[in-house]
């Protein structure tokens, strides 16, 4: 397996329970105007610094794989949990944490079916068992803005192997929870809900594609996609669907939310590609949260060595 060498460590070595339960102290929010750069600066100013035990040099060294761009530091717990895209709760990145605070994530289950030999429903407790030895994936995530996040999770391939895909299966479709009692309407979100996403089967089975159930060694915060979300680090962040309740294996390419909303702007693949311009802005640079200048966007978000072979026969400007 090629996984950028994720380390295996216990939760207790990352962040204590007090820090996790005190995450409400980080939520000061409000709708902040201005550019992404200005917004990032303002919320850092109005929020207190994260507890020292969250981002220490010792933790940086523990979960930093030796072959993964050692010069990059983790974003703080505060930054990761206070600047989020989650349209089911808000279209404002700085308002999601507050609006998702009371989101109910227990009980929870994911139904896995479609073109499989053994369809199965996995309770969240079943998924957590896949982390007998918790795995920390220190991935860069990019969506015009970027962060370095220590996800806790396991390869999606474990789920796929458990249900045994049939030979006709070529794609994997995902669906998020939509509960109108807890979430805003499709009209307010500006997109059809529930949120839909999809991957090609070989993408889904790649060892860098994970189901994440936490970050910083703790259970996933609501605003980051509790209780379980997809993380595909070489693609733009909207591909990493949150709060998953259904996974289906299909023969045909499944519909995806942003491709439905704006097919000329959001393709099925959505690989990070600085050479493909979005119709309304350049994707050649990105704003890394915590920095004040934009940086060049890396092909496949820096994971080209691991994943570019998946697309060796494709025109990535046509299949964007």
Domain spans of the chain, in order of start: 7-311
Q: Which residues are annotated as a binding site?
A: 84, 87-88, 141, 176, 224, 229, 240-242
Closest CA to 272 of 242, 228, 234, 229: 234
Q: Does domain 7-311 have CATH number 3.90.420.10?
A: yes
Q: Which residues of the chain have pLDDT under 50?
A: 1-70
- Each residue's pLDDT tens digit, 65-103: 433 343 578 899 999 999 999 999 999 999 999 999 999
pLDDT at 110: 98
**Which residue has 């978000």 as its token pair?**
301
Query: Cis ω on the peptide bond leading into residue 151 (within 30° of 0)?
Result: no
Q: Which residues are annotated as a binding site for Mo-molybdopterin?
A: 84, 87-88, 141, 176, 224, 229, 240-242
Closest CA to 235 of 158, 307, 309, 314: 307
- Each residue's pLDDT tens digit, 157-166: 999 999 999 9
State how far the Cα of 210 lies from the Cα of 208, in Å rounded to an integer. Answer: 6
Ramachandran sector of residue 243 (left: φ over 0; alpha: ψ -120 to 50; beta: rest): left
pLDDT at 71: 52
């Amino acid at each position: 397996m090629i996984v950028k060498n994720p380390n295996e460590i216990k939760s207790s070595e990352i962040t204590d329970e007090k820090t996790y339960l005190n995450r409400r102290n980080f939520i000061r929010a409000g709708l902040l105007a201005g550019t992404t750069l200005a917004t990032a600066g303002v919320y850092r100013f109005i929020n207190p610094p994260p507890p020292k035990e969250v981002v220490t040099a010792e933790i940086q060294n523990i979960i930093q794989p030796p072959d993964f761009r050692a010069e990059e530091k983790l974003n703080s717990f505060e930054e990761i949990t206070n600047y989020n895209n989650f349209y089911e709760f808000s279209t404002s990145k700085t308002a999601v944490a507050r609006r998702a605070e009371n989101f109910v994530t227990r009980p929870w289950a994911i139904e896995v079916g479609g073109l499989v030999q053994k369809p199965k429903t996995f309770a969240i407790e079943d998924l957590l068992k896949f982390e007998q030895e918790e795995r920390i994936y220190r991935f860069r995530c990019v969506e015009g803005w970027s962060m370095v996040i220590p996800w806790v999770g396991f390869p999606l391939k474990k789920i796929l192997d458990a249900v045994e895909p049939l030979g006709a299966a070529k794609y994997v479709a995902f669906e998020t929870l939509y509960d109108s009692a807890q979430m805003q309407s499709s009209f307010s979100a500006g997109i059809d809900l529930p949120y839909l996403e999809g991957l090609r089967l070989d993408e889904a089975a790649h060892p860098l594609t994970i189901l994440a159930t936490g970050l910083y060694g703790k259970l996933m915060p609501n605003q980051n996609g509790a209780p379980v979300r997809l993380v595909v680090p070489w693609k733009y962040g909207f591909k990493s669907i949150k709060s998953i309740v259904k996974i289906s294996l299909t023969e045909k390419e499944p519909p995806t939310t942003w491709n439905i909303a704006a097919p000329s702007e959001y393709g099925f693949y959505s690989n990070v590609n600085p050479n493909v311009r979005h119709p309304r802005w350049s994707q050649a640079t990105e704003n890394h949260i915590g920095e004040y200048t934009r940086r060049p966007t890396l092909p496949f978000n820096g994971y080209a060595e691991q994943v570019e072979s998946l697309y060796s026969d494709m025109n990535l400007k046509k299949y964007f």
